[in-house]
Structure 1
Amino acid sequence: MNLLDGVHFDNLESAGGEDTLGSSKSLGRASSGGSFRKSLDVAEAREGRIQRSVEIRKRQRGATAQAKRRRALEKQERAEGAAQDSYTADQVSQALHDLDVPENTARAVADLRAWLSLAPLRASCEPELAQQEHDRYTHSDVATQLCIDRGMVEKMLPLLRVDPRADDAEARFDLAFNATWCITNIATGTAEQTQATLCAVPALTTLLNRGPRKVRDQAAWALGNMAAENQSVREELIRVGVIPPLVILLREPHSPEAIRVKRTAAWALCNLARGDQTSGKPFFSAAAHLALVEILESYTDQALREGFQSDAGALISEVLWTLTFLSAKEPTLCIILVHQKILTHLVRLFTACKGELSICIPSLRALANLIPLRLESPPGREASLVTAVCQQPGFLDTLQSMMVEGESAARVREAIWTVANLFTLGLQTKSGGPLSQDETAVVHDLMCRFAAPLCVFFTKYTSEFMLPASTALLNLVNREDVSVLINVINEPTSPRVLDVFISLLQERDIDIVYRALDFVEMVLARLSNPFAAARLGGRSGVRLVMDYEGIEALEHLEMRQLPAAHSNLCARAHRLVDRFFGVDFEEAEEAEAMQLPEQGANMFKFPASSTPSTQPNSSPASAGRGAHLLRPAWLAQQQGQQQMQQMHTDSKQRTLPECGFNAKMET
């Protein structure tokens, strides 16, 4: 069967825009074929930077908004108080005044809760709306701004301090519940509105530790909304100690009523774990990972029986999303996750979810973050988690189907990122020695399944898949066997791989430029010899790059104005031009030619009697996820080797069966 059968490109919608990969705009390549020597027009470059900044801010605002959750009144509560579906500005002002009148406080808090639970407008209210005191509003925006302007949160702080031993503790907890509800919905607003709620953090943290279940649930909800705002807020919440009581909520006794509280706690922990700068140590110190694994053990069977749209399925989804962030933390902590047999649960959920987005995306992302790890099994010899995961029944079949069927762009993109991490097998062995028999067989299977589809997604579809596909291709070809690189360039279904990589040297996304330059440099350094030329129709790597206007593209990159942190790109481009395209580049090509032995003709369909050498290249160029997305910390380009060494030094030696796998490994 052809690997490309069933690839339905028309079903995929790009979230990044309407431009396709073949357009000059998405590739950043001049359609006229003119020289790249001329510098970019200043106005055009400035406009491009502004547009990119706006897009980044929009994405950041969108991500923050999606991370926050507003709480609305139940339908029954709405039916009992229909008059609360609208309000006037002077009603809000009167309720805020009544907060200081003890006999009116309960009613005032209940009214504010109802008004703040109304749906907000998509755009902010005009400032003058708040001055029209007799107009009735059916959205929450005016009430929210009036509450902030008149210090509602500060006025409600005494309501959050409840002595559980007091005679009227039950009534006071009800009052604290409504007040916390108000703070929860205000924290779903803008950064300024969220900032106004931070004074309630100590009191909300106290409520997490005592009081009825519904009060602790609402306090967790409010803190979760605050944590979604930015890194400084997350750091402050972690500092005051909100993680341990949230973990206690995760361990509420098993009951239908407890599922909602566990969902809220898992979601709040997920928001707290966001950000590359957030350390995983506070979460693991509080045993959050153990509580999350316990939930997977207790509720997975129920979710499979009742469906992932059930309460149990929603809880599993929240836990998986939290694990996507924890699995991207420090390597030694990720080893602890693996030791808890987390991979067994992730593989099971991924293969059983039947494409349910709320399950397949987070389970696959957490898997992709963990599989580049290597364990000591037995002591003194590394064992690959890639091999162990790929040998689990149904995993590769499900991943391949998810990638090539093309039902959802989100699924395809996540599948490509996972394949990119799977291709790190052979790039990160501790000793740099040859792969085991099992590992070699897995690499062979991965190439047969995914190499051709990757070339298609890279050359024939939108820029949405450009970064993951380029990363996967680079990890695929970065091996000692040069035939893999040759066959990617010669892939008949997608003959434009090198052409597209050269075009990407002009992309605005620096991560993509790095990968494009790595690929072009690999072609020049490894294919500029007689053996490669014979396999490439008589054209060496130098000739191929020249034919695709690579000299102009490299010179253009050499002259780009880049931030100081990325100035090495310009220097690398300059060195490549000097080395391979100098005055006497033909003589230099002949002098540096490498006489390589003959290799297999097609690395995507290996002969049965011979499997390829998969010994890793000494310096992998792009292992792991992209820098602007979640990726394991050990895959960072500048710190990867040091972190892997520290991981093997600090972590306890464990075997694969101890981590939940029984896959046979060569000993």
Structure 2
Amino acid sequence: MDIDFTNNKFENAFTFESSSPPKQPPPPSPTVVHKSKYKRNSLPRNTEEARQRRIEFDAQVRKRHREQLISAKRFKHHESYNDDDDAEPEFTLSQQDIEKLKSGLSNVNRDTRLSSLQDLSKFLVDPPDTLKQFVIEGNCIEILIKFLSGVDPEEQLQATWCITNIAAGPKEFVNKALTAVPYLISFLERENISLQDQAAWAIGNIAIESPEYRDLLRKNGVLIPLINLLNYKDVNLVQTACFALSNLARTPNSGLDEFFAGGIDKHLLRHLKTDESFEVVSEIAWVLTYITSDSDNKYTIQLLEEGLAPLLVKHMRPLLGHGPLALPLIRTLGNITSGPDENTDILIQQSDFLPAMIEFIRSDCRPVKKESLWVVSNITAARRPDVLNQVFNAGFIPILSNIATRSNFDIRKEAAYGLINIASHGIEFMRSLPHQELLPGFLEYIRSQDFDLIRLGLGYVEMLLTQVQNGKQLMESMQGIDALESVTLIEDQSLRNSASRLMDRYFDEDISNEMQQIEETI
């Protein structure tokens, strides 16, 4: 479909007002940071609040999938320990048990000390109250620091393992783990891959806790040693380094100059070119997710100029069947399309990008589907006619229409944003939508109790009545007036006013005639 944009400007009379989306973490929706941040034609959102909820959702997703190294706080488990988030605590330790453990940690026999360190790391996965007290109020950290400052590599590794699990605990635990930061950073530069991996893991757990801790880590010089770990070929080490780096980049514009001065872009692009592991690609994409969320788009543009787009598209289909592993890749694509139209153009030029996006919005994995619909809503907010034409030609409209009218409301809402964006581009685009199919769904939005959905429904009806020749007849045939009347009873004044205005402008005479007929009958 090729549409002429000549003299095709349309000023939408309906005012989309900003509101905080009732969403994630997960319920309701983890995905609503739409292109309003950059695009004048998209629905305004509270972008900072939405971004924070999105980050919280990231943490939950990564924690649930920590066996794949996608976790916000990773515990280092022994093979014999069964990781079950819903299980009862496996260990109950009396104060006498704690004293016995402390005695083992200071035993003159090396094997006893190592065994006690292994037991401690295992107990720290789900610590009972007595062990929590030992960590927070006792001398647990001081004992572990003695191991870290020693000369035995195996004892250093086991002690770092304990620090990793402490850093994955509550904030009181993380505060204690800060003492170990200088040792952890020094271990990153050791020629001991196991120790490097464990230290990076612990640093990643500390970094996730708060912006203040991320600042502290960067000020202590953690970035360059972490970035240098990306030079290694060890898959686990690269994954863990990316885990730590992504957590350090979580704060908006968090010292990205330093990241790029360390050459992180070259390392990430090289791994995307050469690595085929789904887990590695996913971890790299988590780093890119936070880097590409920079507000001024400086580094997103730099990455695109360095060839990021084809590398991302290359990994789309391989990740398609791997559920949450694909989330950071989709999120990165969404961040890119949230920027200037030139960014979207670069992605659109990749021949498999739009076809792969169609597969993603058809995904059976709910978070993947929602994130992908967010990407599509960003694409449809582009102001370039060739982008919209390609969206039509690729076959998105029937799929979006089906989702917007037949899925659960939170998923439908994501598809509706894309359709509203398309309709907002002008009369020809609006008239090209299947309104006979869409209107019943948008009237359901209006009848809902969700103010965001009501706003979307009213916006669609406004454009339908303004731009589609038989829009009024469609509304009348599908009880649209009743839907508008239902809005006049809700609490939100702006929505009541909008619905009343539409009724007065388009249906006042019809309503008056109907009332007159009723009175005459009586």
Residue 345 of structure 1 and its aligned partner are, at CA, apart by 0.6
Match of 2:141 among 119, 128, 153: 153
Give the counterpart of 1:113 among 100, 114, 118: 118
Could you say which residue in structure 2 is the equivalent of 1:550? 484
Preserved contact between residue 209 and residue 216 of structure 1 (Cα < 8 Å): yes
TM-fit CA distance, 1:277: 7.0
- Provide the residue aligned with 1:243 in structure 2: 223
Alpha-carbon deviations, 1:250-285, whole Å to 9, x = none?
A: 112x3xxx2221111011112222355745444233
Contact 1:16 1:464 in 2 (8 A): no
Q: Which of 332, 343, 357 is 2:298 aligned to?
A: 332
In structure 1, what is the Cα distance between the partners aligned to 2:55 and 2:305? 39
What secondary structure sits across from 1:452 in the alignment? helix
The answer for the alignment partner of 2:473 in structure 1 is 538
1:9-64 Cα distance to aligned partner (Å, 9 max, x none): xxxxx99689xxxxxxxxxxxxxxxxxxxxxxxxxxxxxxxxxxxx9999698457
Alpha-carbon shift at residue 551 of structure 1 (Å): 4.1
**1:341: how far off?**
0.6
Which of 93, 96, 111 lines up with 2:102 in the alignment? 96
Residues 145, 111 of structure 1: CA spacing in aligned structure 2 closer, same or farther, 3 A cutoff? Answer: same
Taking a change above 3 Å as real, the CA distance of residues 464 and 114 of structure 1, as seen in their structure-2 partners, is: farther
Q: Is the 8 A contact 2:62 2:72 kept in 1?
A: yes
Distance 1:329 1:496, change over 3 A: same
Displacement of 1:243 after TM fit? 1.7
TM-fit CA distance, 1:528: 4.3
> 2:267 corresponds to which letter in structure 1?
A
Indicate how the Cα distance of structure 1 residues 501 and 390 shifts in structure 2: closer, same or farther if over 3 A, else same: same
> Once superposed, what is the RMSD of the aligned Cα atoms?
3.9
The equivalent position to 2:288 in structure 1, one of 323, 340, 345, is 323
Q: Provide, for residues 179-221 of structure 1, a one-character-per-residue CA deviation record: whole Å limited to 9, x for no partner.
A: 1111111222233323332222233223223453322221111
Task: Determine what percentage of the aligned residue pairs are the same residue.
Answer: 22
1:213-612 paired onto structure 2 within 5 Å: 213-252=193-232, 254=233, 258-276=234-252, 278=254, 280-299=256-275, 303=276, 312-330=277-295, 331-353=297-319, 355-357=321-323, 359-374=325-340, 384-404=342-362, 406-426=363-383, 435=385, 438-439=386-387, 441-446=389-394, 449-481=395-427, 483-486=428-431, 488=433, 490-492=435-437, 494-504=438-448, 506-507=449-450, 513-514=451-452, 516-517=454-455, 520-521=458-459, 523-524=461-462, 526-529=463-466, 532=468, 534-536=469-471, 538=473, 547-553=481-487, 556-558=490-492, 570=493, 572-573=494-495, 575-576=497-498, 579-581=501-503, 586=508
Q: In structure 1, what is the Cα distance between the partners aligned to 2:210 and 2:300?
A: 24
Distance in 2, matches of 1:343 and 1:552, equals 46
CA contact (8 A) 1:349 1:359 kept: no
Counterparts of 1:112-131 in structure 2, within 5 Å, are 112-117=117-122, 120=125, 125=128, 127=129, 130=130
Query: Contact 1:413 / 1:468 at 8 angstroms: preserved in 2?
Result: yes
Note the C-alpha offset of 1:387: 3.9
Cα shift at 1:514: 4.7
Query: Deviation at 1:342?
Result: 0.8
Aligned residue type for 2:419:
L
Question: Residue 207 and residue 189 in structure 1: after superposition, are their counterparts in 2 closer, same or farther (change >3 A)?
Answer: same
Equivalent residue of 2:290, what SS?
helix
| Aligned CA distance change for structure 1 residues 498 and 488 (closer, same or farther; 3 Å) | farther
Evaluate the alpha carbon distance shift between residue 247 and residue 228 of structure 1 in structure 2; reply closer, same or farther with a 3 A threshold: same
2: distance between equivalents of 1:472 and 1:152? 54
Unaligned runs of 5+ in 2: 1-23, 29-52, 64-70, 82-89, 510-522
Residues 244 and 286, structure 1, Cα contact 8 Å, conserved in 2: yes
AA partner of residue 71 (structure 1):
K
CA 1:290 to 1:520, structure 2 compared with 1: closer, same or farther past 3 Å?
A: same
1:410 to 1:440, Cα distance in 2 relative to 1, 3 A: closer
Change over 3 Å in CA distance of 1:293–1:186 after alignment to 2: same
Post-superposition offset of 1:223: 0.9
| AA of the residue aligned to 1:473 | L
Match of 2:164 among 170, 179, 184: 184
C-alpha deviation, 1:370, in angstroms: 1.0
CA displacement, residues 308-359 of structure 1 (integer Å, 9 cap, x when unaligned): xxxx442222112222222222311111111121111111111344523355
Is the 8 Å Cα contact of residues 452 and 491 (structure 1) preserved in structure 2? no
Instruction: Check 1:321–1:396 CA distance in 2 against 1; reply closer, same or farther (3 A cut).
Output: same
**Structure 1: any 5+ residue segments left out of the alignment?**
1-13, 19-54, 77-84, 131-142, 163-168, 304-311, 375-382, 430-434, 508-512, 559-569, 588-667
The 1:443/1:499 distance shift into structure 2, 3 A limit, reads same
Amino acid at match of 1:315: V
TM-score where L is the length of structure 2 = 0.73
Q: Is the 8 A contact 2:147 2:159 kept in 1?
A: yes
* Alignment TM-score, normalising by the size of structure 1: 0.58
- Between the aligned partners of 2:202 and 2:303, the Cα distance in structure 1 is 28
Q: Distance in 2 between matches of 1:15 and 1:464?
A: 13
Shift of residue 583, structure 1, vs aligned partner: 9.6
Q: 1:402-441: CA deviations, max 9, x gaps?
A: 333x533233223322221221222xx6xxxxx4xx4453
- Separation in structure 2 between the aligned mates of residue 195 and residue 70 of structure 1, nearest angstrom: 17
Count of paired positions: 445
How many Å separate the matches in 2 of 1:452 and 1:441? Answer: 14
Say if 1:320 and 1:359, in contact at 8 Å, map to a contact too: no
Which deviations, in whole Å up to 9, do the C-alpha atoms of 1:608-667 show, x marking residues without a partner?
A: xxxxxxxxxxxxxxxxxxxxxxxxxxxxxxxxxxxxxxxxxxxxxxxxxxxxxxxxxxxx
Change (3 A) 1:503 1:154: farther
Choose between structure 1 and 2: higher helix proportion. 2
**Paired residues of 1:386 and 1:422 also in contact (CA < 8 A):** yes
Q: Residue 61 of structure 2 contacts residue 324 of structure 2 at CA under 8 Å; is this kept in 1? A: no
Deviates more, 1:281-290 or 1:334-343: 281-290
The one-letter code sitting in structure 1 at the alignment partner of 2:269 is: V
Tell me the distance in 2 between the aligned counterparts of 1:389 and 1:63.
Answer: 26
Q: 2:272 is matched by which residue type in structure 1?
A: L
